[in-house]
Amino acid sequence: MVRVGVDGRIQEEFLVDFPKDVEIVRIPEGISEPIEIDFWIPPFARKNSQDTFRMLRGVKVVQSILAGVDWILPWLPKDITLCDGQGVHDVMVSEWVLAAILTSLKRFYVYRDQQHRKEWRGAGEPGDTVLHVGEQYQVLGDDLAGKTVLIVGYGSIGKAIEARLKPFEVNVLRIARTARTEPEVSTVGDLHRLLPDADIVVVIVPMTPKTKGMIGIQEIALMKRGALLVNAARGPVVVTEVLVEALEESRIFAALDVTDPEPPPQGHPLWNAPHCIITPHVASSTPALLHRAYRLAADQVRRFAGGEPLQNVVAEDGY
């Protein structure tokens, strides 16, 4: 019988889809004695996962419920099959990206600050970047319709982002590891060519040695003045010092769910950088997350128990 290790605190409602002929083994927090399992689902709150793994025996498969596995790769033995949570986060992250884009373009954060100060200013205040229409009319907000959006990392989340952008009549450019057609997808080698065409750049790549710092001084310099950079990937994908400089010079806007360092320490310039909104790595934090994650895990357990190929197997390059 396949023994499946799960977080000892997980409620039964999340386990109803698991095959009945497997044994669910609840692993307590602060495990003190070795436990034999075949298939391990690390908890969502992953801080102690490495310590927990040291007490597990017989593990053949680790199924992460997170899309990114950069946190587990450094310590997981190479002979254990690692699967990521691809597909689990599509809805949540793509909705966050859409909300971040609209919030940034419509400058809701500026009006929220004005509301707290009990101010009524349709064009913002000194220091805000305004858009001039003719000689007399100036506005803060902009339209999403007609914009060109570059999605850097056209995987399952990237596709979900495009689906949610489609009703807004945008032009979408796509970048992935390999070129494709129908729809047209360019390679990372085309990033510099495509950046100057984009009004909005959405970064949704996995964290690997190749993606660390991929949005740096050259890339931000190639972006249009006034373009929006959205980072829903990992903080180190964007070079923070370069980003802060561009924000302080009012060259670009930014919407960040992740930062480097994360969180920024007290006094870090990113906290007060203009034209920037930050959320604390919560793009996937909705009530549906665990339901979707454990449905995926249940299907993977069924495949493993039946000798079928697993999905979302992480390759040597980290995704």
Same domain, 67 and 186: no
**Cβ distance 247 to 228 under 8 Å?**
no
Same domain, 197 and 238: yes
Catalytic residue among 262, 268, 291, 303: 262
Same domain, 95 and 165: yes
**Cβ distance 182 to 295 under 8 Å?**
no
Helical axes 108-116 vs 90-105, angle rounded to 10°: 70
Query: Is 23 among the catalytic positions?
Result: no
Same domain, 190 and 268: yes
The number of distinct structural domains making up the chain is 2
Assigned domain for 136 exists: no
Assigned domain for 248 exists: yes
Catalytic residue among 89, 107, 174, 234: 234
Q: What is the CATH number of the domain that holds 158?
A: 3.40.50.720
Same domain, 146 and 237: yes
Same domain, 201 and 261: yes
Same domain, 83 and 95: no
Q: Is residue 261 reached through a cis peptide bond, with omega within 30 degrees of 0 on the bond before it?
A: yes
Q: pLDDT tens digits, the chain, 319 residues: what are they?
A: 999 999 999 999 999 999 999 999 999 988 889 999 999 999 876 678 999 999 999 999 999 998 889 889 999 999 999 999 999 999 999 999 999 999 999 999 988 998 999 989 887 666 667 666 666 567 788 999 999 999 999 999 999 999 999 999 999 999 999 999 999 999 999 999 999 999 999 999 999 999 999 999 999 999 999 999 999 999 999 999 999 999 999 999 999 999 999 999 999 999 999 999 999 999 999 999 999 999 999 999 999 999 999 999 998 776 6
Assigned domain for 22 exists: yes
Q: What are phi and psi of 197, to 5 degrees?
A: -90, -10
Same domain, 40 and 100: no
Q: Which domain holds residue 225?
A: 90-106+142-278
Same domain, 159 and 41: no
The pTM score is 0.91
Assigned domain for 205 exists: yes
Residue 238 to residue 230: CA distance in whole angstroms: 10
Assigned domain for 133 exists: no
Same domain, 259 and 296: no
**Cβ distance 85 to 64 under 8 Å?**
yes
Same domain, 43 and 11: yes
**Cβ distance 287 to 293 under 8 Å?**
no
Strand 61-63 relative to strand 81-83: parallel, antiparallel, unpaired?
parallel
Same domain, 62 and 161: no
Assigned domain for 293 exists: yes
Contacts of 39 by beta carbon, 8 Å cutoff, 6+ apart: 2, 3, 4, 5, 59, 60, 61, 63, 300, 301, 304
Assigned domain for 58 exists: yes
Catalytic residue among 46, 164, 177, 281: 281
Assigned domain for 131 exists: no
**Cβ distance 59 to 37 under 8 Å?**
yes
Q: Where are the alpha helices (DSSP H) in the chain?
A: 49-53, 90-105, 108-116, 156-165, 191-194, 217-222, 240-248, 289-305
For 178, the token pair is: 């390999």
Query: Is 281 among the catalytic positions?
Result: yes
Q: What are phi and psi of 300, to 5 degrees?
A: -65, -40
